Amino acid sequence: MVKNRRLESEGPIFGIRHLQCLLVFCGLSVAYALRVNLSVAIVAMTDRNDSNPDFDEYKWTEKTKSLVLSSFFWGYVVTQVPAGSLAHKFGGKVMLLLGIGVCSVLTVLTPICAKLGDWKLVCGLRVIQGLSQGFLFPSTHTILSKWAPVEERGTLGTYSYSGAQFGTVVMLATSGVVASSSMGWPGIFYISGGVGMVWTFAWFAWGASSPAEYKKISPEEKKLIETSLGCASKPEENTAPMKTPWCRILTSVPFLVLTLVHCTHNWGFWTLLTEIPTYMKNILGMDIKSNALLSALPYTAMFLMCFVFSTLQSTLSRHQCIPLSVSRKLFNSIGHWIPMITLIALGYVGADRINLAIVLLTITVGINASTYLGFQVNHIDLSPNFAGVLMGITNCAANIMSIIAPLIVGFIVTDEKSSAQWRFIFFIAAGFYFIGNLLFVVFGKTTVQSWNDMESSRVAKERDGDCAESQH
């Protein structure tokens, strides 16, 4: 009887919260496929000999191609902070729907835009796509803050965000085949954009911003989520509107530390993503981009490690082996300090040890999956009510680092054949990994901050005062 009661309190094995995470997983898979599709397609667009020669070829210089590829992030950085506030106000479902829906439609239009306006129109289209995808992570964090019980937050968050790696792997592994088929390089955009539209309809039908908005959720599961999150089931009209306490957020030490660790993480991670192919080509004598499977290998490792780490964390949580704060800092340390070591080692690998270099690269990227159980869900720990806002702020700052890091590489690496200069780049990235995680271990918090519901309490008190006055 006790066992049955326990199982009943835990809700169904596959509940509505799991359905929401599955939909978010698929949404992030689509979003990242839409993000990286141009990286593969642009090779075929500028050289018809690499794919089906029956389609248009564009004589874009390397500078033009770099401009087009980077234009996505111009828009992506801009909408991060507004996206958090809008997701908090209108709900994560609406903002995620608009973000991926708009990006999907524009992806389908990419071949037409290239034909009508050449690289300039494609560049403008990518900026708008970046603006739309800026809503992605703040909206996802807002949804997870409403759907994921505290005990399952790390696991469900990891499952959801692993879609980013899955979408990247699928796109890198299949784009070359599609470009060489009868569909040609336009097929890359038509297929990925079409899948995005299908997901948009599915999300519209089955997605929800919170358990309160999903009518078919079981009472047991709804009670499980609300009890874990510490929120009672209240009528919608009694829910006090909450204003974002910007001053309290921006002066909160745990949040400032979270912002710093997010920035240092992106510095190291994007240094790898943008510069490793050049390093492989000039130092190790190989072009990693020419091999689709090899390019996808680190992301495949990261995708698989998401499930390994989430299973480990779930086991530790179920047996109550370590407190939540220790769990967050442990997994974040794994995701930062192991890559720190492999990055340093990578700097000393010569051209005669290519296999070792690939192994180190795969470990460096793959182990980063551990951070999904570390700082990447810490926004929800600090403030479930403003998780999307917090993610918008930290992701905005972090993506500025993503833009600066490659520029610093260009400033330091004046000779791309110099192993010493590349080693210095890896040392810088490793240093960022070390410092960011050290600050998180020392100053990071997992307790809900006082400003999380401060405004709600104030409004409730004002309402009670107004009611008392009206009675008199």
- SS3 string, 27-93, reads HHHHHHHHHHHHHHHHHHHHCHHHCCCCCCCCCCCHHHHHHHHHHHHHHHHHCHHHHHHHHHHHCHH
What is the pLDDT at residue 413?
Answer: 82
- More confidently predicted of 432 and 319: 432
Domains recognised in the chain with CATH numbers: 14-230 (1.20.1250.20), 245-471 (1.20.1250.20)
- Which of 10-14, 95-99, 302-306 tops mean pLDDT? 95-99
- pLDDT reading at 44 higher than 80: yes
Q: What is the pLDDT of residues 332-389, one digit of tens each?
A: 999 999 999 999 998 888 777 888 888 998 999 899 999 999 999 999 999 999 999 9
- pLDDT reading at 225 higher than 80: yes
- pLDDT reading at 3 higher than 50: no
Average pLDDT score over residue span 419-438: 92
Average pLDDT score over residue span 165-180: 86
Burial (CB count within 10 angstroms: exposed 0-12, middle 13-18, buried 19+), residue 415: exposed
What is the pLDDT at residue 277?
Answer: 63
- More confidently predicted of 451 and 273: 451
User: What pTM value is reported for the model?
Assistant: 0.79
When pLDDT is cut at 50, 70 and 90, the band that residue 291 belongs to is low
- In sign, the C-alpha dihedral spanning 378, 380, 386, 387 is positive
Look at the chain and count its residues. Answer: 472
- In sign, the C-alpha dihedral spanning 83, 85, 88, 91 is negative
When pLDDT is cut at 50, 70 and 90, the band that residue 463 belongs to is very low
Average pLDDT score over residue span 182-205: 95
Among 225, 199, 197, which residue's Cα sits nearest to residue 213?
225
Query: Which of 40-54, 182-196, 310-324, 330-344 shows the lowest mean pLDDT across its residues?
Result: 40-54
What is the pLDDT at residue 469?
Answer: 38
- pLDDT reading at 255 higher than 90: yes
